[in-house]
Structure 1
Amino acid sequence: MNSQKVLTQLFAKLQDFLTKIAKICQSNGIIFALTMGVLSRSIILLTFFAIAFFSPVSSQWGWEVFSAWDSPLYQIIATSGYEVINQTEPGGNVAFFPLFPLLIRGLMNLGLPFEVAGVLINNLAFFGALILLYQWVEITNNSQAARWATAILAWCPLSIFGTVIYTEGLFLFLSIAALKAFDLEKYPQVILWGSLATATRITGIALIPAFLITAWQKRKPAIAYLSGLLSGCGLLFYSLYCWIKFNNPIAFITVQHTQWQRQTGFDSQGWLKMIMQILIGSQNWKKGTIVDPWHPFLVIILAIIGYLLWRYRDQLGEVKFDYSFCFLLFILWLIAGDPLLNTSIILGSGYLLWYLRYELSLVAVNYGFCALGLLLASGGTISLSRLAYGIVSVSLALGVMLSHHRRWGYVTLGFFTLLLISFSVRFAQHLWVA
């Protein structure tokens, strides 16, 4: 009886402590952003740790667990520079913009190993991105929308690329800083952060038309147009480098087609493949005939159930309808897998930006559409979901939407946590993610 009383008191104290922490986080944006970052990164690190010790695929634990797929390419750039084939032809790693490997090289010159330098830069930038996003959305919307947008950015399963040796964290930080500066009319900062963003990855190019279109729509002064153009200095300098070294100012685009086998323009076949994989299944699409009838049958059943749920949503009530529809989407994900995620992220992002266009910052909406358009015209469907995550307007739009529908928000965060663990397992085992 005494032990039960003690446990009850301990539980009550713990609940009070957690309530106080929640209140502090809600009242302080920086603490909230850091808390979201620490908790979500802890999930990734614990998963990496578990895989290293319990999975037969990974036999060791160390900094190398953060390096896979594109990471070694950044290492080559940081240590040896860009690859040259036959003296003048650009190698495949020219597709990767220079700022991230340059920063890594700077820390390596101070004595840090590549893995440590890459992880340090990306993670510090990612935490900075969370803080900047909260502050920006609090200004343009409100603190509730800021909390949800920050939580989405932190807990999105693709945020694993803000922890491993990739450019997601750095690019998010620089692009958010540039967009926020433009909203606040701090044009010298727009030039600085925009130039660094366009020197980090090719999707930074979308900042330039976003700034120019917004300046025209809001009838901004000439300095706004000038800062929008000068925000592309990072791209300009990299183009000059490619021109001098490879006699090709757009070598970073050329290698996408010659080395990475991307098509030119919209990849209709890639999109058709993803949609058919959702509807009839990967095996049926690969074989060109129905070898697995269960997949299309289950998709049809789910479509019928979804229609009935929508048809009788008033009779079901809001709570039952929401949870039933969420469960239905979860089952569909179990059936369709990654093709469903990749397709819904791109199409859903475009819809959200349009639906919430009057609630979001105008420059964020324009940047979102320009960046999504750039992805659609990139000539491929590989890594589209990861690249879409690097467009901060997507997380911003989803966060604002969920701030109006908290029930959906909590379900979304729960699903994101599950996927974050799954993606962490796959990355730790050097399996393809996104």
Structure 2
Amino acid sequence: MMISVLVSPAPPEGIAPTFGWGTFAAWDSDLYRNIVINGYSYDFSRNEYLVAFFPLLPLLIKAVMFLGLPFEIAGFLINNLAFLGAVLLVYNWVKELYSIKAARWATAVLVWCPYSLFGTVIYTEGLFLLFSTAALRAFQKKQHFWAAIWGALATATRLPGLAIMFTFLIVSWREKRSLIAYIASLCSGGGLFLYSLYCGMKFGEPLAFLKAQKAWQPAQDFWGQDWLKMFMQVLVGSRNWKAGKIVDPLHIIIVLLICLGAYLLWRSHLKLGQNKTQFGYCILAIILWLLAGSPLINTVTILGGVYLIWHFRAQLNLLATYGFCSFGIIFSSGRATSAERYTYAIISVSIALGLLLEQYPRWGYPVLILFGFLLASLAVRFSQQLWAG
């Protein structure tokens, strides 16, 4: 990102990049800076929706800034160190649960996934991955006190952390755990409950963060409009979807040819052999990606994550329950904005993909190469303050 700032020209729709720690602060980072410096505000008449962002990251940044570090360095250090801690924790936990090969693949997925960018800039991904993984690991080991502590920190980091509490309650009931497990489950939501109490005391609205999040995003004509838009951008193309009619027939023709090619590969896979068939699928996938771009990546990330958790549900157990609860929260809003980034923060998805690539390592290497390319692309976009997720 630092190198791209030095060599990249100013993008037409972005901001001319400047060399420095500010490279890692854009979009939500600027809002966290506002919270750290000016505190929370809640005023719809002036479009002040800062309460939508949970308090743990601003509190930690504020604490580190007392040591004399500026906002950019404090936020960068906190999220990167937390992300490093999450990576090490995931590696050791997956090695305990499955195998060292699964641990290596899961760690590689977590690090090279394009959305790992948000574990290195001033966002909450690093903190959330660390605390949610620590909470799940502690609960799996029946360390209920630590599960409650880590869970409370996760729910103080971002709203999807509420999936941890639901997961703990479901698992406690399914495994017939003792009363202490239920108490720990409820305490894991302590971060959200305390933030709700703060909003009630300061703004007279305990659910101010929910109302702010709804106001933050544009209204939809119907539930799931964003999802339909994303799917149709892949199938018929962004230009056709935006115009409401076919203005770019070539996109539709190419998609149909790709579908036909995939069908022919499936019909001829015995004659072609495994290597040629897999190579053919890779070529078709690359063509579709070049055609559809980000909507395809986002669609595959989200729906692929759901499928992987379902496919490995017996092996994942607790992690599968957490994955389904997390996706339930993501889908409940009916909005697709940043859903791919929220999917990445569901640690169950990275572990499930690690289990898959352990079984099919031949697919793992091209997947990681693609991940690396997309990660570099997103990093350059973010450094230019262009939308990255």
Q: TM-score, length-normalised on structure 2?
A: 0.96
Map of 1:54 onto structure 2: 7
Map of 2:182 onto structure 1: 225
Q: 2:35 matched to 1:77?
A: yes
Map of 1:397 onto structure 2: 352
Compute the displacement of 1:277 (Å).
Answer: 0.6
Query: Which runs of 5 or more structure 2 residues have no equivalent in the other structure?
Result: 11-15
Compute the displacement of 1:392 (Å).
Answer: 0.7
Between 1:309-318 and 1:193-202, the stretch displaced more is 309-318
Equivalent pair of 1:68/1:430 in contact (CA under 8 Å): yes
Map of 2:388 onto structure 1: 433
Structure 1 409/271 Cα, relative in aligned 2: closer, same or farther at 3 Å?
Answer: same
Equivalent pair of 1:63/1:116 in contact (CA under 8 Å): yes
Pairing of 1:281-296 with structure 2 (within 5 A): 281-296=237-252
Paired with 2:340 and 2:318, the residues of 1 have a C-alpha distance of 22
Compute the displacement of 1:78 (Å).
Answer: 0.9
Compute the displacement of 1:90 (Å).
Answer: 8.8
Map of 1:64 onto structure 2: 22
* Count of residues in Structure 1 that have an aligned counterpart in Structure 2: 384
CA offsets, 1:390-425, max 9 Å, x none?
111111111111110001111110110110111111
Q: Secondary structure at the match of 1:359?
A: helix
Compute the displacement of 1:312 (Å).
Answer: 1.5
Paired with 1:423 and 1:386, the residues of 2 have a C-alpha distance of 12
For 1:152, the aligned partner's letter is: V
Map of 1:409 onto structure 2: 364
Compute the displacement of 1:211 (Å).
Answer: 0.8
Paired with 1:234 and 1:253, the residues of 2 have a C-alpha distance of 15
- Choose from 102, 105, 113 the match for 1:156: 113
Between 1:89-98 and 1:288-297, the stretch displaced more is 89-98
For 2:293, the aligned partner's letter is: G
Q: 2:101 matched to 1:106?
A: no
Equivalent pair of 1:83/1:90 in contact (CA under 8 Å): no
Equivalent pair of 1:177/1:193 in contact (CA under 8 Å): yes
Equivalent pair of 1:346/1:385 in contact (CA under 8 Å): yes
Structure with the larger RCO, 1 or 2 (CA within 8 Å, 6+ apart): 2
Compute the displacement of 1:113 (Å).
Answer: 0.2
Equivalent pair of 2:17/2:383 in contact (CA under 8 Å): no
- Choose from 171, 185, 196 the match for 2:153: 196
For 2:311, the aligned partner's letter is: Y
Percent of aligned positions with the same letter in both sequences? 50
- Choose from 371, 376, 395 the match for 2:326: 371
Between 1:252-261 and 1:410-419, the stretch displaced more is 252-261
Structure 1 343/86 Cα, relative in aligned 2: closer, same or farther at 3 Å?
Answer: closer
- Choose from 229, 233, 253 the match for 1:273: 229
Equivalent pair of 1:90/1:255 in contact (CA under 8 Å): no
Structure 1 102/331 Cα, relative in aligned 2: closer, same or farther at 3 Å?
Answer: same
Equivalent pair of 1:125/1:173 in contact (CA under 8 Å): yes
Structure 1 262/224 Cα, relative in aligned 2: closer, same or farther at 3 Å?
Answer: farther
Alignment root-mean-square deviation, CA: 1.6
CA offsets, 1:77-122, max 9 Å, x none?
11111013289x9931110000000000001111110000000000
- Choose from 338, 345, 350 the match for 1:383: 338
Equivalent pair of 1:134/1:149 in contact (CA under 8 Å): yes
Q: 2:357 matched to 1:357?
A: no
For 1:192, the aligned partner's letter is: I
Query: Which runs of 5 or more structure 1 residues have no equivalent in the other structure?
Result: 1-47
Q: 2:292 matched to 1:336?
A: yes
Compute the displacement of 1:259 (Å).
Answer: 3.5
Equivalent pair of 2:139/2:147 in contact (CA under 8 Å): yes
CA offsets, 1:255-300, max 9 Å, x none?
1122433559x83211111111111100011111111111000000
Map of 2:205 onto structure 1: 248
Paired with 2:268 and 2:227, the residues of 1 have a C-alpha distance of 33
Runs of 4 or more off by more than 2 Å in structure 1? 84-87, 258-264
Q: Secondary structure at the match of 2:315?
A: coil
Paired with 2:337 and 2:235, the residues of 1 have a C-alpha distance of 19
Compute the displacement of 1:229 (Å).
Answer: 1.1
Equivalent pair of 1:199/1:235 in contact (CA under 8 Å): yes
Q: 2:243 matched to 1:299?
A: no
Paired with 2:143 and 2:154, the residues of 1 have a C-alpha distance of 16
Equivalent pair of 1:257/1:263 in contact (CA under 8 Å): no
Paired with 1:179 and 1:97, the residues of 2 have a C-alpha distance of 20
Q: Secondary structure at the match of 1:261?
A: coil
Map of 2:102 onto structure 1: 145
Q: Secondary structure at the match of 1:136?
A: helix
Equivalent pair of 2:152/2:190 in contact (CA under 8 Å): yes
For 1:120, the aligned partner's letter is: L
| Structure with larger Rg | 1
Paired with 1:207 and 1:349, the residues of 2 have a C-alpha distance of 18
Q: Secondary structure at the match of 1:82?
A: coil
Map of 2:274 onto structure 1: 318
Paired with 1:415 and 1:244, the residues of 2 have a C-alpha distance of 48
Map of 2:13 onto structure 1: none
Between 1:76-85 and 1:100-109, the stretch displaced more is 76-85
Equivalent pair of 2:17/2:23 in contact (CA under 8 Å): no
Q: Secondary structure at the match of 2:337?
A: coil
Q: TM-score, length-normalised on structure 1?
A: 0.86
Paired with 1:252 and 1:262, the residues of 2 have a C-alpha distance of 17
Equivalent pair of 1:371/1:391 in contact (CA under 8 Å): yes
CA offsets, 1:3-44, max 9 Å, x none?
xxxxxxxxxxxxxxxxxxxxxxxxxxxxxxxxxxxxxxxxxx
Compute the displacement of 1:308 (Å).
Answer: 0.9
Structure 1 59/422 Cα, relative in aligned 2: closer, same or farther at 3 Å?
Answer: closer
Paired with 1:267 and 1:336, the residues of 2 have a C-alpha distance of 24
Q: 2:83 matched to 1:126?
A: yes
